[in-house]
Amino acid sequence: MTRVYPNTAASCVDLPSLPACCGATREDGAVVLTVWRKSLLFSCNGFTVFDAEGNLVFRVDIYGSGSAGELVLMDSAGKPLVTARRKKLSLGETWLVYNGEDADNPLYSVKRQVSLLHCKGLAHVTPLRGGSGSAGYGVEGSYSRRSCTVYDERRRAVAEIQRKQAVRGVAFGDDVFRLVVQSDLNTSLAMAIVIVLDQMFR
């Protein structure tokens, strides 16, 4: 089997409002992450995320089976960066995104888009606080096909979920895919959107 994670060490830094991971970037400034839909802990579900150099940058460990009501995105050392919690008693499926393990002041709301018409829209991300400069995002495409784009309010693509190309003829399947994040979007928020989409559309 093709090795998913070549290295095990990484570093992360804190940025205003949400932390963003360090990592190799492309010439266009985008951060390229490999997302593995698997926890490194035995008998856990979750995610393990590596940068373009193979360094571990994010992880999510989900205990038990089935759908989770709370997901914690951690850095490589296990420090909580972002917490996503399912909003109870909401019309449609809505998740709230908090900084770290904060439980009182959500930064963003991620709401599943529901339409009777055939629509490419999957979800809408709305800022709840954070002052000027906070923007909303729309998510379009198909999460099940690992083909999604996150757009900002000016319809610029700021992140993409893509299938990972086969290596030496070995395909990865749906559990390993790429997340390409432009410099306009915080990488922790982009990964929070991914884990919420997984709960909404898996």
The answer as to whether 1 is a domain residue is no
pLDDT at position 161 is: 97
pLDDT confidence bin for 174, thresholds 50/70/90? confident
Tell me whether residue 80 is in a domain.
yes
Question: For residue 113, is pLDDT > 50?
Answer: yes
Does the residue 2 lie in any domain? Answer: no
pLDDT digits (tens, 9 = 90+) for 23-77: 455 657 899 999 999 988 877 889 999 998 899 999 999 876 556 789 999 999 9
pLDDT band at 129 (very low <50, low <70, confident <90, very high): confident
Whole-prediction pTM value?
0.83
Asked if the structure places residue 6 within a domain, the reply is no
Residue 20 φ then ψ, to 5°: -125, 145
Residue 115, beta-bridge partner list? none
Residue 156 predicted with pLDDT over 90:
yes
Whether residue 195 is contained in a domain is answered as yes
pLDDT at 66: 55
| Other residues' Cβ atoms within 10 Å of the Cβ of residue 54 | 16
Task: Kindly state whether residue 33 falls inside one of the protein's structural domains.
Answer: yes
Residue 70: CB partners within 8 Å, gap ≥ 6? 83, 84, 85, 86
Q: Which has the closest alpha carbon to 197: 77, 11, 71, 19? A: 71
**Domain total in the chain:** 1
Quick one: average pLDDT of 88-115?
A: 88
CATH number at 66 reads 2.40.160.200
**DSSP one-letter code for 25:** B
**pLDDT the model gives residue 9:** 41
Does residue 54 fall inside a structural domain? yes
Q: Is 121 within 8 Å of 109 (Cβ atoms)?
A: no
Determine the average pLDDT of the residues in 93-114: 92
Q: List the domain range (segments joined by +) for residue 107.
A: 12-201
Residue 89 lies in a domain: yes
* Both structure tokens of 35: 């997302």
